[in-house]
Amino acid sequence: MSSRLEITELERPALETALAKRGQPKFRAQQIVAWIYQRGITDFAAMSDLPHDLRQQLGAEFSVTTPSIASRHISEDGTQKFLLRLTDGAQIESVFIPDTPAMTFCISTQVGCAMACAFCLTGKMGLTRNLTAGEIAGQVRVLADALDMRDRAFNVVLMGMGEPLHNYDETMKALRILGDEKGLALPARRVTLSTVGLLPALEKLGREPYMPNLAISLHAPTDAQRGELVPINKKWGVEEIIAACRQFPVRKRSRITFEYVLLAGVNDSPEDARRLAKLMAGMKSKVNIIPLNAAAGIPFERPSEERIDEFARILSERGVLVSVRKSRGRDIRAACGQLIVEGQRPSPAQRLATIAFS
Ligand code: SAH
């Protein structure tokens, strides 16, 4: 077991403190962060603007860990799914979605997920563990390197495996690390956090200095329907979430996205669309309809194209901004709700323990 300090788990002020204890000035932390996040260099010996002695000391007392690529699949549409292996052997998935029109990295915040949404494959895994901030931010480093995109602009969506607000502290720390102006300098407006709406955490998010765009996985306009699809709705219901969203400090020219997985005969009626439009009234919002990505073991069906169009039309006639998400990477199981790592299902007891959080 190494007792070395893992740099990817440190925000720059903490790295500065660790270096100050070793008699090093602050700018050394900036240099190290630039090597790791701007140039993708994680070997201290190669950090050529650091004094030779310091490089040796860093090698002895610090480490820089990066998730390794266990496999990589490329879809017909250019989407790429990365299966990443972490130091303890746990595996997660990260997805690269090109030209939407921006380049987008979809990253995970947990190994598995405790939310158990009825239509989501990741939900079937249960939660194995939270990711650390370094593991969350590390996915962005891995993808940027593998895709040779270090010098290009990209968006990051926290829409992979896991519920980001159920791993609040590490997720926010990861975003601050990614946002560090001396490192990747990822602007908050390029980040979208998607959540089922854990209310206390959602309210806390509204007070963060580094404020990502917000997407809410709503999926139904009434508690009766949503409770069947998103179990945590029994704790924090539709009205409460909508009220919190109305209070949420939305950036200028920005909107809250409401994701709505359309399920045939469950939440896709004209009445559902009208109810949804009412919830959206007067809010800086947009609705992103996600026609179900069907999978074995998911007891729902995707509605017909006519049904999808009608649902979207009803919203749009009522002044709601609406888009229908084109499914990407379905052939490699990289699409929404299709991320699952086989052989990683926790025991039923473990699963129950993780669902009974706070
Ligand atoms: N836990 C967060 C982050 C996951 S985002 C959240 O729920 O928002 C993944 C998005 O894909 C969510 O909106 C989720 O509801 C949606 N999704 C899950 N399963 C899906 C499926 N089978 N088909 C289409 N979308 C799905």
Residue-by-residue DSSP string for 244-294: HHHHS-PPTT--EEEEEEE-TTTT-SHHHHHHHHHHHTTSSEEEEEEE---
Domains in the chain, ordered, with CATH? 5-63 (1.10.150.530), 112-128+149-160+180-357 (3.20.20.70)
The Cα-based distances of 110 to 66, 167, 298, 354 in angstroms read 16, 7, 21, 12
Considering only CA atoms, which residue is closest to atom 5 of ligand 1? 159
pLDDT at 99 over 90: no
Ligand 1: centre distance to CA 51 (Å): 48
Q: Is 178 in the pocket of ligand 1 (CB under 6 A)?
A: no
Mean pLDDT for the chain? 93
Model pLDDT for residues 19-55, shown as the tens digit of each residue: 999 999 999 999 999 999 999 999 999 999 999 999 9
Considering only CA atoms, which residue is closest to atom 12 of ligand 1? 217
**Total number of residues shown for the chain:** 358
Q: Is 106 in the pocket of ligand 1 (CB under 6 A)?
A: no
Q: Model confidence at 348, in pLDDT bands (50, 70, 90)? A: very low
Ligand 1: centre distance to CA 295 (Å): 13
Report the alpha-carbon distance of residue 35 to residue 30 in Å, rounded: 9
Marked catalytic residue, from 16, 93, 163, 259: 93
Report the alpha-carbon distance of residue 117 to residue 195 in Å, rounded: 12
Active site (annotated) includes residue 93: yes
Candidate of 106, 124, 159 to mutate for ligand 1, largest count of ligand atoms within 8 Å of Cβ: 159
Cβ neighbours of residue 19 closer than 8 Å, sequence gap 6 or more: 25, 26, 28, 29
Residue in the structure block whose two tokens are 């729902």 = 300
Atom of ligand 1 nearest to the CA of 292: 23
> Given this model, what pLDDT does residue 353 score?
31
Residue 194, strand partner residues = 215
Give the residue, 347 or 188, on which the prediction is more confident: 188
Residue 13: in which H helix or E strand, if any?
Answer: helix 12-20
Q: Is 232 in the pocket of ligand 1 (CB under 6 A)?
A: no
Residue 105, strand partner residues = 96, 156
DSSP 8-state assignment for residue 91: E
Ligand 1: centre distance to CA 27 (Å): 41
> Given this model, what pLDDT does residue 333 score?
83
CA angle 330, 333, 339 (to 5 degrees): 130
Q: Model confidence at 2, in pLDDT bands (50, 70, 90)? A: low
Considering only CA atoms, which residue is closest to atom 1 of ligand 1? 163
The dihedrals phi and psi of 202, each to the nearest 5 degrees, come to: -65, -40
Candidate of 261, 289, 302 to mutate for ligand 1, largest count of ligand atoms within 8 Å of Cβ: 261
The Cβ-side half-sphere exposure at 174, using a 13 Å CA radius, reads 29
> Given this model, what pLDDT does residue 8 score?
98
Q: How much is the average pLDDT of 117-130? A: 95
Atom of ligand 1 nearest to the CA of 159: 5
Ligand 1: centre distance to CA 218 (Å): 10
Report the alpha-carbon distance of residue 197 to residue 142 in Å, rounded: 29
Q: Model confidence at 343, in pLDDT bands (50, 70, 90)? A: low
Among residues 157, 174, 223, 164, which one has the least CA distance to residue 196? 164
What value does the CA radius of gyration of the chain take, rounded to a whole number of Å?
A: 21
Q: Which of 146-155, 244-253, 284-293, 334-343 has the lowest mean pLDDT?
A: 334-343
Ligand 1: centre distance to CA 180 (Å): 28
Considering only CA atoms, which residue is closest to atom 18 of ligand 1? 337
Model pLDDT for residues 271-321, shown as the tens digit of each residue: 999 999 999 999 999 999 999 998 888 999 999 999 999 999 999 999 999
Specify whether the CB–CB gap between 96 and 128 falls below 8 A: no
* pTM reported for the whole predicted model: 0.94
How is 32-48 classified by DSSP, letter by letter? HHIIIIIS----GGG-T
Report the alpha-carbon distance of residue 138 to residue 201 in Å, rounded: 23
Q: How much is the average pLDDT of 229-244? A: 98
Q: Model confidence at 11, in pLDDT bands (50, 70, 90)? A: very high
CA angle 217, 323, 308 (to 5 degrees): 85
Helix (H, G, I), strand (E, B) or coil at 229: helix
> Given this model, what pLDDT does residue 218 score?
98
